Amino acid sequence: MPEWCDRLRVKCPGLRAEQENAARDGSLLYPDCAALERCDSTIAMRAVGIRAVIRAHDAALFVSQSGETADTLAALRHCRLAGAATLAVVNVENSSIAREAGAVAMIGAGVEIGVASTKAFTAQLAALACLAVGAARARGVLDAEAEAGFVSDLLETPRWISDALALDQEIEPIARRLLPVRDVLYLGRGVYHPLAMEGALKLKEISYIHAEGYAAGELKHGPIALIEEGTPVVVVAPFDALFEKTLSNIQEVAARGADVILITDAAGAAAAGDVAAHRVVMPSCPELIRPIVAAIPMQMLAYHTAALKGADVDQPRNLAKSVTVE
């Protein structure tokens, strides 16, 4: 951990987009929690392709479920040659990335059968949250009492996830509304922007419905032109300091006829009123844990949509669990 305390500059996720979204979310958690000067995320192929400038005092973190993703392994070697400290967040202990990284954080999710990652994704978010808390403590940003509070919250996460899974019967009727559509937009702000991208990825991967995730703040810079009567818009927005801004986006798309599906918590539902046509109210939980729990309703929405269409949710067409060639 000492090598990671001063500055985390680059995050290189795996080739599969789930790892990119997890790293993006982690790169937003790190600066807030650990008071880091700079924390960036990028996909591994981009880091190598543009010959990203890596310095000897940088730290590079690599997120890969399989630990064998070719582009991520190439990015790891690129950073090692530059003298950066390297840490891998992986699910396979004896994988190539785990062996070559300077340090390894195992997510311990167990074997995942489905090509479209679910439990590995949430476990990656949990691991990145743990690393953020550990870095904050090592840097003196958190005292022992605050650290213990975060750890207690992380240990309670399975309970909140179980409560989120209990929303299954509420989500299936919403999924039925997506069956005839061709396009779905996802919106999120701050740490929920990567989750919006992840929700869109899950839907397109297993239901074969075109979906895109956008930063809510970018809505007026182009995506709003896609909104017409009946366009499904999934908004992931648990209540936080930015909620009012996201609520304004919801009102804008609803006024243009969008069929809004709001994934929020009790405080967000109360603040939003009846502006959204559909609401999924996830369990209320601490801020550090919310992105992990918010991922569950989005995964279930994709699952039910695909299952209702008769698609193979575990083995979607044209996809492989591990991409071992560049």
Of 26, 53, 52, whose CA–CA distance to 39 is shortest?
26
Pick the residue with more confidence: 2 or 56?
A: 56
**CB-count burial class (<10 Å; 0-12, 13-18, 19+) for 201:** buried
| pLDDT tens-digit map of 23-34 | 555 555 545 555
Q: Give the residue carrying structure tokens 């990335």.
A: 97
- % of the chain exceeding 70 in pLDDT: 83
pLDDT the model gives residue 38: 61
pLDDT of 82 strictly over 90: no
% of the chain beyond a pLDDT of 90: 67
Residue 136 has pLDDT above 80, yes or no: yes
pLDDT at 58: 83
Q: Where are the alpha helices (DSSP H) in 143-186?
A: 144-155, 157-165, 168-176
Q: Does 13 score more than 50 pLDDT?
A: no
Lowest model confidence (mean pLDDT) among 33-47, 56-70, 98-112, 199-213: 33-47
What pLDDT is stored for residue 51 in this prediction?
Answer: 60
For 138-158, what is the mean pLDDT? 93
Q: How confident is the model at residue 135 (pLDDT cuts 50, 70, 90)?
A: confident
User: 202, 187, 209: which is closest to 260 by C-alpha?
Assistant: 187
Question: Whose CA is closest to 234, among 177, 273, 291?
Answer: 177
Please classify residue 66 by burial: count the beta carbons closer than 10 Å to its beta carbon, then call 0-12 exposed, 13-18 middle and 19+ buried: buried
More confident residue, 221 or 139: 221
- Mean pLDDT over 279-289 rounds to 96
Q: Check residue 33 and give its pLDDT.
A: 53
Q: Which of residues 51 and 193 earns the better pLDDT score?
A: 193
Which class for 166: exposed (0-12), middle (13-18), buried (19 or more C-beta within 10 A)? exposed
Four-residue CA torsion sign, 87, 40, 262, 205: negative
Question: What does the pLDDT read at residue 19?
Answer: 59
Q: What mean pLDDT do residues 98-111 have?
A: 94
Q: How confident is the model at residue 10 (pLDDT cuts 50, 70, 90)?
A: very low
More confident residue, 106 or 41: 106
Mean pLDDT of 277-289: 96
CB 291 within 8 A of CB 298: no
H/E element, 13:
strand 10-13
pLDDT at 137: 87
Domains belonging to the chain, first-starting first, are 2-155 (3.40.50.10490), 167-309 (3.40.50.10490)
Whole-number mean pLDDT of the chain? 87
* pLDDT 10s digits, 255-275: 999 999 999 999 999 999 999
**Burial class of residue 75 in the structure, from the number of CB atoms within 10 Å of its CB (0-12 exposed, 13-18 middle, 19+ buried):** buried
pLDDT band for 60, please (50, 70, 90 cuts): confident
Q: 7: pLDDT confidence band, cut at 50, 70 and 90?
A: very low
Strands (DSSP E) found in 133-247: 183-188, 210-215, 232-236
* For range 171-185, the mean pLDDT: 97
Q: Predicted confidence band at 1 (pLDDT cuts at 50, 70, 90)? A: very low
Give the mean pLDDT of 62-81. Answer: 89
